[in-house]
Amino acid sequence: MISSRAGSLPASSTAALDAHVKALLAEGADIVNLTGGELDFPTPEQASEGARRAIAEGRTRYTPVAGVGHLREAVARRLTTRWNSPHEPAQIVTTNGAKQALAQIFTVLCEPGDEVILPAPYWVSFPHMIRLAGAVPVEVDTSATGFRLTPEALREAVTPRTKVLLLNNPSNPTGVVLDRGELAALAHVALEHGLVVVSDEIYGDLVHEGAEFTSFASLGPEIAERTVTVGGFSKTYAMTGWRIGFAAAPPPVAAALSAVQGHTSSAPSSISQYAALAALEGDTDTELDRRAAELNRRRAIMRDGVRGLPPLRLTAPPQGGFFAFVDVRGLCTGPGDDAGTVAGNLLEHAGVAVMPGNDFAAPHHVRLSYAVAAEDIALALDRIGSYLKAVDA
C-alpha cells in the first residue's frame, strides 16, 4: 500500500527527540534541553503587529502562489543590499518554511538517478529530501578537513550523473562558516562540471567569532545563474512557527518552483507573509543587534565550557548558527558505543538532552544548542562536568 520511497523514510530524528524531551519536561522531569533548533527569543513585535494588522484589514484570502508582491520585493531587496546577491522579485518564491523550499527544489532540478553531492556531516533531512525526489545523495566526508568541503574532494565526487551540489553555509550541525575564498574555489569546480548549486543559507545572519558570511550567489553573475539560494525567517527573526521561507532562483527555476507549489501546497499563510514583510520593513535592526550580542555571549559560554570538559572535544569552533558540534569518542568505551549511547547516558544520568550525530553522518559527535538561556547553558555544562567526574571516578 505504501510506496517504496515513503516506506523507507524514517521520521525526523531531531524532531522526534525534541518532542520526546519536551514530553518529559511536561511530566516534570528535571532536564536541560540542548536539542532544539529554534531561538528562545520572541518574534519581533514589528512582525506580530504586521500579522495583527493583516487580520484586521481582512488580508486572509489566497495570495499569489509565489507570495505577495511586496514581500517578494522586500526579500529581493534584502538579498541584494545585505548579502550583495542581486535578485529581482520575480526570482523569489515564498514557501512554507525553508524546508518546503528545499524539497521543491530537488523535485524541480532532479531526474530519477541524478546525483546530489552532499557534504557530511549534514542536516538530518537533506538525504531524505533528495531521495524523495528520486535522486541519489552522494556523501562527501569532510571530517578530515575540519568539516570544510574542499574543491579537491568535490571534484573527486563528481560523476557523469552529478547534477547538484548542496551546500549548507553556515552549517547545521557543525557551525562551520566557509569563507569567500573557499566558496569561490567550489564555484570554480561547479562551473567546470556544469553543476547547479543549492545553497541553504538559513543561518546567514547568525555568524560570530570573526567569521564573515558570503552568499554563494554573490560570487558573480556566472555562478549566480546556476545557484538556488534558500533562506527564511525562522532563525534570524525567531519565527519558526510562522512557517515562512523562500527560494531565490534563476527565472526558469523560480517559475518551475511556483508551478510545483501551485499544484501542492499553494502559497504560504497570508498572515505569516504579512508578518514576514513587517519584519523586513520594520525597524528591527537594533533588536536584532541586541539578540546577536546575546547569542554570541551564549556561544562563548558554550565554547569555553566544552573546552574545559575533557574528553569532550570541539572539532571546529562554532562560527555560525547556534550549535556546538562536540566529539564524544572519549566517552565511547564499549564496543558498540556511539553518540547515541553518550546522549542516552547524559539524558539519564546528567539530566541534559543533546542531539546525537548518528543521523547527521557523524556517529561520534553530539550537537549542543546554545539557542537557550545562558543560565541553562551554564547549568547543563555543570551537570555534564559532574557526570564526567562520576564516570572517571
Q: Which helix (H) or strand (E) holds 180?
A: helix 180-193
Q: What's residue 128's pLDDT? A: 96
Residues across the chain: 393
Neighbours of 49 (CB within 10 A): 14
Q: Looking up cell 568505551, which residue turns up?
A: 333
What does the DSSP 8-state code read for residue 28?
T
Q: Looking up cell 557523469, which residue turns up?
A: 160
Q: Which helix (H) or strand (E) holds 62?
A: none
Name the pLDDT band for 223 (thresholds 50, 70, 90).
very high
Q: What integer best gives the mean pLDDT of the chain?
A: 95
Which pLDDT tens digit goes with each residue over 73-110? 999 999 999 999 999 999 999 999 999 999 999 999 99
Is the pLDDT at 259 greater than 80? The verdict is: yes
Q: What's residue 10's pLDDT? A: 79
Q: What angle do CA 243, 377, 320 make, to 5 degrees?
A: 55
The answer to whether the beta carbons of residues 195 and 226 sit under 8 Å apart is: yes
Specify the pTM: 0.95
267-276: average pLDDT: 98
Cell of 185: 574555489
150-155: average pLDDT: 98
Q: What's residue 17's pLDDT? A: 77
Name the pLDDT band for 2 (thresholds 50, 70, 90).
confident
Sign of the torsion angle spanned by Cα atoms 179, 182, 188, 194? negative
Q: What's residue 5's pLDDT? A: 80
> What is the b/e burial string over 319-340, where b = at least 16 CB atoms within 10 angstroms of the residue's CB?
bbbbbbbbbbbebbeeeebbbb
141-145: average pLDDT: 97
Position with higher pLDDT, 8 vs 364:
364
State how far the Cα of 332 lies from the Cα of 322, in Å rounded to an integer: 25
How many H-runs (helices) and E-runs (strands) does the chain carry? 14, 13
139-145: average pLDDT: 97
State how far the Cα of 74 lies from the Cα of 232, in Å rounded to an integer: 12
Name the pLDDT band for 8 (thresholds 50, 70, 90).
confident
Is the pLDDT at 64 greater than 70? The verdict is: yes
281-300: average pLDDT: 93
The answer to whether the beta carbons of residues 293 and 299 sit under 8 Å apart is: no
Name the pLDDT band for 363 (thresholds 50, 70, 90).
very high
Is the pLDDT at 302 greater than 90? The verdict is: yes
Q: What's residue 330's pLDDT? A: 93
Q: What's residue 393's pLDDT? A: 64
- Domains and their CATH numbers in the chain: 4-42+286-392 (3.90.1150.10), 61-281 (3.40.640.10)
Strand pairing category for 313-314 and 32-33 = unpaired
Cis peptide before 151 (omega within 30 of 0): no
